[in-house]
Structure 1
Amino acid sequence: MGRTLMIGSCEPFSGKSAFVLGIARQLLAANQEIRLGKPLATSLEFEVDYEDFSSEKPLIDDDVRFIGETLGLSEQQLIPSLAHLAPASADQRLANSDVNAGSSLDLLRERLDIPFDGINILEAAGSLHEGLVYGLSLGQLARGLNAQVILVHLWQDSCSVDALLAAKEQLGDNLVGIVLNAVNPDDVQALQSSLVPSLEALGFRVLGVMPRSPLLRSVTVGELVRRLEARILCCSERVELMVETLSIGAMSVNSAMEFFRKRRNMAVVTGADRTDIQLAALEASTQCLILTGAGEPLLQLIHRAEELEVPLLKVDHDTLSTVEVIEQAFGHVRLHEAVKASYAFRLVEEHCDLNRLFSTLGILSKSPKHC
C-alpha cells in the first residue's frame, strides 16, 4: 500500500496543487516512487453520469492529470477520484442518505492496497470541512488512512493562526507539518525569525514559508474570455498570455500613462469610447485590452493591437461587473500552465526546508536523478 501523505488547507485556493507539484518533483529526484490522487475531484474535463460512475472513464481530476503529465507519470501512478464535488453529486448523496465515510474509505483503501513501496500523495478538498457529505473530508481521510498531513496555509497576519489551531485540534497527531504560503515578500525574513519560533512553540512544525507570487495568482487571457463571455476582436492566437494585474482606464490619458508604466502584465478595462486610454494602454505592459459599454472600437485601435499582438476583447457587461469577474479570477484558477509549474518547482525548492520535510516523512534523501 505504501505510505500516504495528504496535502490539505484551511481554505480553498491556498496553493496546495503548486506544493504537490513541487514536493512530488523533489521526491522523484530523491528516487522515491510516488502515486498522485485527489479523492474528491473538483475539476473534470468530461461530464459525469452521477447515476452510474462505472460507465465512465476513471475520474482523474484535472489538477492530478496536469501534474502527472508535467512529471511524466504513467496512468497507473494516477489514483482515480471517488466523487466529484458538484451540486448534482451532493444531491444524490443526500437523496440516498449516503453521508458517511465508510464506503468511500473502503473503496480508497482498495485502490491503494496494491504492492507499492512508495508514497501516495493525496490532495485534500479545499477546506477542513469540505467533502464531509462524501465522507472525504481531510479529517476523515487522515484518520481512515492513518495518513500524514501537511497543511498549506494562506498567511495574512497573526490572526491567521486561529485556523491552524482549529486544524491541529481536528487532525491531532496526523498533522506533521505546515507550510505558510502567499506571505508578503517583504515580510518573509521577519516572519521566519520572529513568528516561526512561536508557531513551533505551539506544536507546529513549520516546513516552509513561501512568498506571494503574482504569477501563480495570474490568469490566462483565455480564461478571462471564458468567464466574461467576451468577443475576441483580434489576436485570438494569443489567449495563452498571462495576466497578473488589473487596471481600470477611467482617468485622464496623462494620468493613465503614468499609472500604466508602473504596472506589469495587465488586463486593462476601459470604455469602448475611450480611444485615448486604449491607445495608451497598448503602449504599456498590457496583456489584453477589455472594452465595455456600447459602441465598437475604431479600426485604428484594432490595427495597432494587431501590430503589438495584444488581444482585444469586447464584453457586454458594464465596467464594474467586468472588474468584479476579473478580480474573482485572480488566485482562483487551476495550476494548468507550464510557466506556473516551473515557478512552483522553484518556489518549493527555495522556500521549503526539504531536509526537514524528508526527515518528517521518514525518508532518507538518495542520489538525485534527472526528473
Structure 2
Amino acid sequence: MKSLLVSSIEEYSGKSAVIIALGQILKERGFSVGYFKPFGIGITRIGDRFVDEDVYNTATVLQTGDALDDICPVTLDKPYVEFARSADLPELKQRVRESYTRVAAGKDIVLVESAGEYKFGKALELCDFNIASMLDLNILLVVKYTSDFVLDKILAARELLGDRLRFIIFNQLSGYKTAYVEELNERFFKQNGITLLGTLPYSPLLAGLSVREIADALHGEWLIRGKRGEEVIIEELLIGAMSPPAALKYFRRVRHAALITGGDRADLQNLALESGTIECLLLTGNLEPAATIIGRAEELGVPIILVADDTLTTIERLDEALGKARIRGAAKVKKVKELVEQFVDLDLLIAHAD
C-alpha cells in the first residue's frame, strides 16, 4: 500500500483530523501505520522543547512509536524568509529522506502531512509536489467548501501536482453544497483522474473550542474552572447585550454555549447559570462578577473566565481561534473517527492506494 501525502489548498482545512481518523481506522484493520510531517511550521513549546503543535497532537493520538525529531525533521524555528535565506537545501532534503526512511521502516503505510497548504515550502524545495516526488507518494486533498471558487483552486492544484493528486475529501460540508460536490465530481474530478472518497458533514463539536483553548486564546483569567474541567467543548457563542427576557429566548435555543458579557451584567450572568445550556461565562472589560455569581457558578460547576478586552475585541479573537480549531481531546477524536468511518469510502482508498 503506497504511502499518502495529505494535503490541502488552504490552511486549517482538516488535514490533521483526517490523518488522526485514517490512522486509527487503518490500525484497527490490521495495518501498521506511520505518521510523518516533513516541514513543521506551527511551532509551540511543549515542556522544554519546541515542536510543531499538530505533530505533537497527532503523534500523541496515533502512538506510532517514532521519535518526534524523525516524525518532523524540519521545523520553522525563525521567520520564514530568514530561514529560507540561510537554509542548506540539499541538507534539508537529505534530512527529510533519512527521517522518512526510519519512520517508514516496518510500516504498511505512512500518512504524510503537508505544511499548511500545498504550496508552502516551495522556496525550500519542500512543497507538496517536491515531497511527493522525493518520497514517491500519492496525494489526498482535504478541502473546505469555502466558496464556489474552490473548484478553480482544486483544478489549479491538479495542474501543479499532476497525476500524484489521486484523491479528494470535502470537509465540514453543509446543506446544498453536498449536491454541488456530486456534480463537480462527475463534471471535473473524474475527468482529471481524481477520486472523490467522501464528504464529511459540518460538526459543531469539531468546529468548537474547549474552555481551555478559549481561555488561552483570550489570555483570560480563570475565576472558576468548573466541575467538568477545561476540556468542555463550546459549540456556540452568545453575546449578552440584551434584556433578560430577550436573552432567555436565545438561552433556550442553544446547546453547549458560552455567554460573552460584561462583568457588571449580573442579571444575564445569573440567568445564564440557571439556564442549563450555558456552559461557560466569558466576562469582558476586566470587571469581576458579584460574589453571589461566583458562588453559584462554583455550585453548578460552570467555568468563569475574566477577560481584559472589551466585548468586540473578545469576539474578534474568538472568531480567529474558531477558524483554527484543532482535534484535541477524546470527544473530538472519537467524533472525527466516526464521521470518516461513515462518510469516507476507505475500501476505495485502500484498493487504489497501491
Over residues 276-316 of structure 1, what are the superposed CA-to-partner deviations in whole Å (9 max), with x where a residue is unaligned? 11112223312210111254211111111112111111111
Over residues 70-93 of structure 1, what are the superposed CA-to-partner deviations in whole Å (9 max), with x where a residue is unaligned? 334323698431222354465243
Aligned to 1:22: 21
**What TM-score results when the alignment is normalised by the length of structure 2?**
0.90
Aligned to 1:109: 97
- Measure the CA separation in 1 of the matches of 2:133 and 2:63: 31
Aligned to 1:369: none
- Measure the CA separation in 2 of the matches of 1:294 and 1:64: 35
Q: Match for 2:230: what amino acid?
A: V
Aligned to 1:341: 333
Q: What 5-or-longer segments of structure 2 have no aligned partner?
A: none
C-alpha distance 99-269 of structure 1, shift in aligned 2 (>3 A): farther
Over residues 77-130 of structure 1, what are the superposed CA-to-partner deviations in whole Å (9 max), with x where a residue is unaligned? 984312223544652432x2x374x33222222223354352121100111222
Q: Displacement, 1:143?
A: 1.9
The 8 Å contact of residues 173 and 199 in structure 2, kept in 1 or not, is answered as: yes
Aligned residues: 349
Query: Which of 187, 190, 196 does residue 179 from structure 2 map onto?
Result: 190
The runs of 4+ residues in structure 1 deviating greater than 4 Å are none
Q: Displacement, 1:318?
A: 0.6
Give the fraction of aligned pairs with identical amino acids, expressed as a percent: 30
Alpha-carbon RMSD: 2.5
Q: What 5-or-longer segments of structure 1 have no aligned partner?
A: 49-55, 363-371
C-alpha distance 236-87 of structure 1, shift in aligned 2 (>3 A): farther
Over residues 327-357 of structure 1, what are the superposed CA-to-partner deviations in whole Å (9 max), with x where a residue is unaligned? 1111303322111110111111111011111
Q: Is the aligned partner of 1:227 residue 2:226?
A: no
- Measure the CA separation in 2 of the matches of 1:233 and 1:47: 25
Aligned to 2:10: 11
C-alpha distance 266-7 of structure 1, shift in aligned 2 (>3 A): same
- Measure the CA separation in 1 of the matches of 2:177 and 2:342: 12
Query: Which of 253, 268, 271 does residue 277 from structure 1 map onto?
Result: 268
Aligned to 1:314: 306
The 8 Å contact of residues 99 and 135 in structure 1, kept in 2 or not, is answered as: no
Aligned to 1:52: none
- Measure the CA separation in 2 of the matches of 1:26 and 1:242: 24
Q: Displacement, 1:252?
A: 1.3
Q: How does 1:217-296 map to 2 (within 5 A)?
A: 217-235=207-225, 238-284=229-275, 285-293=277-285, 295-296=287-288
Q: How does 1:17-166 map to 2 (within 5 A)?
A: 17-44=16-43, 46=45, 61-75=52-66, 79-88=70-79, 90-94=81-85, 96=86, 98=87, 100=89, 102-113=90-101, 115-116=105-106, 118-166=108-156
SS at match of 1:158: coil
- Measure the CA separation in 1 of the matches of 2:331 and 2:318: 20
Over residues 217-271 of structure 1, what are the superposed CA-to-partner deviations in whole Å (9 max), with x where a residue is unaligned? 1111111111211111112662221111111001111111101211111121111
The 8 Å contact of residues 180 and 208 in structure 1, kept in 2 or not, is answered as: yes
- Measure the CA separation in 1 of the matches of 2:216 and 2:64: 30
Q: Is the aligned partner of 1:330 residue 2:322?
A: yes
